[in-house]
């Protein structure tokens, strides 16, 4: 699905952000990118999204350049990035409006994705009337409205409290059971990464490079109970250890 | 008690007004100040009633100059800001000259405008325009270019073209900024109108704009009428600002925090 070969990234003549990245991802994988700040995990996500150009090496998305594959991808930002002058429904249908999708089709997709994220009861609310968690759900619904093959998430739940974050993680996996997208998820939280992912890429900083490629051993579907299982907790401990090794300044 | 609490925003300003009137009369009577220096509020009210036809007509003249200038400044402000938002280099090249327009006192522009356009409505309109244009164009430009980077990236991700980005993202985002500019312009539009009257007004049919009437009443030593003209201008200014505030509320109350949080 995504193949990265000898990739290097630097901004202008500045320091090398990512160096010699070689990775290959299959369709349907849920990949978390984790590592100390400055390791370039968000940059890697932006490169896949073609929001930033590759300096050298190659990056192929579904057999295409990232730019040409953009229609197959959706990006969920750290902030909900909702348009405050639009209602929940109008925010969700924004990508469809840009594509000139027919009105009745728009309506139908909107209703479906709204239900999917559990926002059926607030179709005409404005963003300022919603909690942080609800805003994020609108953002997810908007991304899903185009039924993307690849979902790119840049620390989407970082600003939320732990309860809301856990709940949204569970919801995200439940949605994935239905929509079957491939996901790339940037996070700081080991627990979140282990809970969500089938694979965790640990990056090292200065310059950003792949430190370890970890397969998460237990299967989907996962639920809140998964967090109590010994194998989950063992995996969290293991990844935490790796992350400490890569980031010795901050034990 | 509840009634008093809930209507604070109405009766507090009225109370202040009553207090000012009381102090006004007190000072005037206590020190025996003569009418041509400080007329009593009653005298001014009488003059306003006596001169009501003239004041109404001249208010209309000033208001038409002020609103024409204000509306054209709003339209030109939107168009101008869209041009300015196109590129940073364009802003760098244009901004100093827009500032110069704003910095040059109207007293200097006005005689030139009268030479070019002759006294009357066109000259008054242009003077108001020149005063109102800057706050609108400066604020709206700020709104157009201060869109969050992630929002722009979002529009790139959904393959929006440049026109869609402007129409669906930049213009709505700039709306509160535009309205702020409009509010500032609204509060000074009457100043533009009156300045225009003073320098470029004409009195076809015996009545000119309010600024013109101020000159006439002064020459005739009708001091209470002069004050009445001042208060009429004040009233017109209020009218302007309330229209803008109403527009502001109408366009923003559903989604913008400023309406929910501020008390004016």
pLDDT tens, position by position, for chain A (251 residues)?
Answer: 899 999 999 998 888 999 999 999 999 999 999 999 889 999 999 999 999 999 999 999 999 999 999 999 999 999 999 999 999 999 999 999 999 999 999 999 999 999 889 899 999 999 999 999 999 999 999 999 999 999 999 999 988 999 999 999 999 999 999 888 999 999 999 999 999 999 999 999 988 999 999 999 988 999 999 999 999 999 999 999 999 998 776 54
What total of structural domains would you count in chain B?
Answer: 2
CB contact (8 A) between residue A84 and residue B256: yes
pLDDT at A251: 47
Q: Dump pLDDT digits (tens) for B77-132.
A: 999 999 999 988 999 999 899 888 888 888 888 888 889 998 889 999 999 999 99
pLDDT at B257: 80
Q: Dump pLDDT digits (tens) for B5-31.
A: 777 878 888 999 999 999 999 999 899
Distances (CA, A) of A190 to A33, B92, B136, B192: 10, 47, 49, 63
CB contact (8 A) between residue A77 and residue B169: no
> Is the domain of B19 the same as that of B139?
no
User: What is the distance in angstroms between the CA of the first residue and the CA of the last residue of chain A?
Assistant: 35
The residue of chain A nearest to residue B165, with distances taken between CA atoms, is A98
C-alpha–C-alpha distance, residues A22 and A24, integer Å: 7
- Does the residue A16 lie in any domain? yes
- Residue B96 belongs to domain spanning: 37-261
DSSP state of A70: G
Q: Best interface-test mutation with B: which of A95, A96, A159 has the largest number of B CBs within 10 A?
A: A95
> Is the domain of B41 the same as that of B27?
no
Is a pLDDT exceeding 60 seen at residue B263? no
Rg (CA), chain B: 23
> Is the domain of B134 the same as that of B10?
no
> Is the domain of B3 the same as that of B134?
no
C-alpha–C-alpha distance, residues B210 and B222, integer Å: 14
With a CB cutoff of 8 Å and minimum separation 6, the contacts of A7 are A18, A20, A21, A22, A47, A54, A56, A57, A58, A59
> Is the domain of B8 the same as that of B122?
no
Please report residues of A whose CB lies closer than 8 A to that of B158.
94-95, 98-99, 146
- Does the residue A107 lie in any domain? yes
What total of structural domains would you count in chain A?
Answer: 1
Instruction: Output the domain CATH number for residue A86.
Output: 3.40.50.300
> Is the domain of B24 the same as that of B85?
no
Identify residues of A whose CB sits under 8 angstroms from chain B CBs: 49, 51, 70-71, 73-75, 77-79, 81, 83-86, 94-95, 97-99, 126-128, 146
DSSP SS3 for B245: helix
Instruction: Output the domain CATH number for residue B247.
Output: 1.10.3720.10
> Is the domain of B133 the same as that of B9?
no
> Is the domain of B2 the same as that of B68?
no
- Residue A227 belongs to domain spanning: 2-40+50-246
pLDDT at B262: 45
B261 touching A (Cβ < 8 Å): no
Q: Best interface-test mutation with B: which of A66, A86, A91, A94 has the largest number of B CBs within 10 A?
A: A94
Distances (CA, A) of B74 to A15, A105, B14, B77: 47, 38, 33, 5
> Is the domain of B125 the same as that of B29?
no
State the CB neighbour count (10 A cutoff) for residue A207. 19
C-alpha–C-alpha distance, residues B240 and B237, integer Å: 5
- Does the residue A251 lie in any domain? no
> Is the domain of B27 the same as that of B112?
no
Q: Dump pLDDT digits (tens) for A140-163.
A: 999 999 999 999 999 999 889 999
pLDDT at B4: 67
- Does the residue A89 lie in any domain? yes
Q: Which of B1-5, B108-112, B146-150 has the lowest mean pLDDT?
A: B1-5
User: Which value does ipTM take for this structure?
Assistant: 0.92
> Is the domain of B155 the same as that of B29?
no
pLDDT at B202: 76
- Does the residue A45 lie in any domain? no
> Is the domain of B113 the same as that of B192?
yes
- Does the residue A135 lie in any domain? yes
C-alpha–C-alpha distance, residues A243 and A32, integer Å: 13
Nearest-CB residue to A84 (from B153, B155, B255): B255
Q: What is the mean pLDDT of chain B?
A: 90
DSSP B114-175: HHHH-SSHHHHHHHHHHHHHHHHHHHHHHHHH---HHHHHHHHHTT--HHHIIIIIIHHHHH
Q: Best interface-test mutation with B: which of A61, A83, A87 has the largest number of B CBs within 10 A?
A: A83
């Amino acid at each position: 699905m995504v193949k990265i070969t000898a990739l290097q990234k630097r901004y202008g003549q500045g320091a090398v952000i990512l160096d010699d990245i070689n990775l290959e991802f299959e369709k349907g994988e849920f990949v978390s990118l984790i590592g100390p700040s400055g390791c370039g995990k968000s940059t890697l996500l932006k490169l896949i999204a073609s929001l930033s150009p590759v300096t050298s090496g190659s990056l192929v998305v579904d057999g295409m350049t990232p730019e040409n594959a953009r229609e197959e991808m959706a990006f969920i930002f750290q902030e909900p990035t909702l348009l405050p002058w639009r209602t929940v429904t109008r925010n969700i249908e924004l990508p469809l409006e840009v594509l000139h999708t027919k009105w009745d089709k728009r309506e139908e997709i909107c209703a479906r994705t709204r239900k999917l994220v559990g926002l059926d009861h607030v179709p005409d609310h404005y963003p300022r009337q919603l909690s942080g968690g609800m805003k994020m759900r609108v953002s997810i619904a908007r991304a899903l409205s185009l039924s993307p093959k690849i979902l790119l998430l840049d620390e989407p739940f970082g600003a939320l409290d732990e309860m809301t974050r856990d709940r949204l993680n569970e919801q995200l996996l439940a949605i994935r059971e239905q929509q079957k997208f491939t996901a790339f998820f940037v996070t700081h939280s080991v627990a979140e990464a282990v809970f969500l992912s089938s694979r965790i890429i640990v990056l090292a900083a200065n310059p950003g490079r792949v430190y370890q490629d970890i397969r998460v051993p237990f299967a989907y579907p996962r639920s809140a109970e998964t967090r109590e299982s010994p194998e989950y907790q063992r995996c969290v401990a293991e990844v935490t250890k790796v992350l400490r090794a890569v980031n010795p300044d901050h034990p | 008690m509840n009634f008093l609490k809930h209507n604070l925003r109405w009766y507090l300003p009225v109370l202040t007004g009553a207090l000012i009137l009381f102090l006004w009369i007190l000072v005037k009577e206590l020190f025996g100040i003569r009418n041509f220096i400080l007329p009593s509020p009653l005298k001014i009210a009488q003059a306003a009633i006596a001169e009501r036809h003239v004041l109404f007509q001249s208010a209309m003249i000033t208001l038409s100059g002020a609103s024409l200038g204000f509306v054209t400044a709003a339209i030109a402000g939107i168009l101008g800001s869209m041009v300015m938002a196109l590129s940073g280099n364009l802003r760098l090249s244009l901004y100093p000259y827009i500032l110069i327009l704003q910095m040059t006192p109207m007293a200097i522009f006005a005689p030139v405008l009268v030479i070019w356009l002759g006294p009357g409505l066109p000259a008054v309109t242009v003077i108001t325009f020149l005063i109102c244009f800057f706050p609108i164009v400066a604020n709206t430009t700020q709104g157009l270019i201060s869109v969050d980077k992630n929002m722009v990236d979002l529009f790139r991700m959904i393959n929006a073209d440049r026109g869609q980005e402007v129409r669906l993202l930049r213009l709505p985002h700039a709306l509160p900024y535009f309205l702020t500019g409009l509010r500032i312009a609204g509060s000074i539009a009457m100043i533009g109108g009156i300045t225009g009257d003073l320098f470029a007004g004409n009195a076809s049919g015996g009545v000119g704009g309010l600024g013109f009437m101020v000159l006439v009443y002064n020459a005739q030593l009708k001091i209470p009428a002069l004050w009445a003209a001042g208060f009429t201008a004040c009233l017109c200014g209020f009218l302007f600002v309330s229209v803008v505030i109403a527009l502001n509320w109408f366009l923003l109350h559903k989604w913008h925090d400023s309406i929910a949080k501020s008390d004016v």
